[in-house]
Amino acid sequence: MKKGKIITAAIIFLILLFALLIVYNFLPEREKSAQETQDAPRQGGARNVSAVRVTPVSPGTIEKSVIINGEILARNQVTIYPAVSGKLVSSFFSIGDRVNRGDVVAMVDPSRPGEVYSQSPVVSTVSGTVLQVPFSIGDTVTAQSGVYVLGDLSSLLVETFVPERFVAEIRQGMSAILWFEAIGSQTFDAEVIEINPVLDPASRTLRIRLRFLNYDPRIRAGMFATVSLVTSRKVDVPVVARTSVINTYGSWIVFVADEKNIARRREVTLGIDNEEYFEILSGVEMGERVVSAGQNFLSDGDPVRIVE
């Protein structure tokens, strides 16, 4: 009986000892977990530092352009007409030949069946280079048929047609930049010298002509040109990179890094723009550091780290 009590007491002692060991090992984990739970709100409230690039707002020149196609023409082009109708029997010049005023360029036979007439000469009224010869020997021509087109190749023009939506911005003296596929990457300067007073009713375009400011003998009449027409230009205005500006819910915003490297959200008013820059009318000041890379994930008040 006494032995049974001893065994029972030993078992109870072992159970209590095991329970104490469990409590001893579990208590630090509970305290650690409680400490983490206590610190969690504090850690969740902290904001991550974002790496960004910044560009100071600076004065610059900004141009807005429209890209259109154009054709090179001789400055003075004149069409030569015969004096009578008949068959073209002789043609004395070819494309590229030089013709002087008063030269006989072709002969037309006005004879009809049963009637024989002397051949009628076609006389050039101007001097120039032959640009076009629309008719061949044997063709029938009239007094309204232009048998030759002459031009002055010493002075070339660019003719192009401006879409209706840009017509209000076209003016005399407007500058343009031209380039040619046949010449490569070199560009040429030109300016508007002639504006048609009315639009073409079929194409809804306005015909304009430009003169070269830096002529190159490689440019020839009939060549195809790409024209970048500068429709508006501003000098010494605040400009920022186009990538800096974000459109959100119809508003334009930028982020500015202040002196403590905190991102500040600014709503801005934009002026003219091109492929690279925006003009800033209001919202930021000269010299402020506008975030130009890394701004898409920023919020107002976020700390930032400036990188090169």
> pLDDT tens across 218-227, in order?
888 888 999 9
Q: Let me know: does 208 contact 196? Beta carbons within 8 Å.
A: yes
Pick the CATH number of 50-60+236-306 from 2.40.420.20, 1.20.950.20, 2.70.210.12, 3.30.413.10: 2.40.420.20
Q: Which CATH architecture has domain 66-73+154-234?
A: Beta Barrel (2.40)
* 77-151 has the same fold as 50-60+236-306: no
How far lies 17's CA from each of 11, 20, 27, 298, in Å? 10, 5, 15, 57
Residue 6 carries which side chain, given as an amino acid letter?
A: I
pLDDT for 40: 43
Q: Domains of the chain: which residue ranges?
A: 1-30, 50-60+236-306, 66-73+154-234, 77-151
pLDDT for 152: 80
CATH class of 77-151: mainly beta
Instruction: Write out residues in the chain with pLDDT < 50, as ranges.
Output: 27-44
pLDDT for 30: 44
How far lies 287's CA from each of 59, 100, 232, 290, in Å? 9, 64, 25, 9
3-state secondary structure 63-119: EEEEEEEEEEEECCEEEECCCCCEEEEEECCCCCCEECCCCEEEEEECCECCECCCC
- Strand, helix or coil at 8? helix
**Sign of the torsion angle spanned by Cα atoms 9, 11, 17, 22:** negative
d(CA 287, CA 238): 9
Q: Let me know: does 232 contact 272? Beta carbons within 8 Å.
A: yes
d(CA 246, CA 256): 13
pLDDT for 73: 86
